[in-house]
Structure 1
Amino acid sequence: MNDFINGKELKANRVYKDDLDYEGQLHGTHPEYNHAMKQVLDAIDSSNRDDNTKKEMLIEVIERAKIHLDMNEPPLMNKHGSLREKWVEVLMPAIDRRKN
């Protein structure tokens, strides 16, 4: 399964935090969304799980992000209430479920 963040191809078995460049956003990606994704990728990277479990976490995070981006919930624009915490709340269950 491949996906793209900031125009870079991410392969589910080879993902690096550096693939998410929230300083030089591309395609109008909202900074709160980028910061939330960075926080979630850091959580995956720092988890004490094997690579296969980390891969599953990443796949679920990407799937959750796609669903919520399609629904525009939480919204991406500040004027519509976009907050980093809302995005983290949406994405973290993919990680929290596997930490036990």
Structure 2
Amino acid sequence: MMIGLLLSVGGCAYHRVVVPVPNPPDQVYHPVKSSALGWGAMEQTSTATHCPTNLLSEVRVRTSFLQSLGTVLTLGLWQPATIEYRCSKVPTQVIEP
């Protein structure tokens, strides 16, 4: 009963990286599933395939309860996560620092 209750609760860890002056053309987050094995020794490479400009305005990394449980049960050997990103458009002017 307790395991069923824990599985129904949606907990997650959430990390977010944003550029100081974002220039996003889209408001859609593009998800990518990623895994790391061997305590980070082997990591799956994720490619931002939806960005024709090769510019990112925001990156979010989410870990769900089940992904965290998998990490705990394997003692960190397997670490799954969901990465979401938003693309940026090409800047129209160069800002000098």
Structure of higher RCO (CA pairs closer than 8 Å, 6+ residues apart): 2
Please confirm whether the aligned pair reaches a TM-score higher than 0.5, indicating the same fold.
no
The structure with more radius of gyration = 2
Which structure shows the bigger proportion of residues in helix conformation?
1
Q: What's the TM-score, normalizing by structure 1? A: 0.28
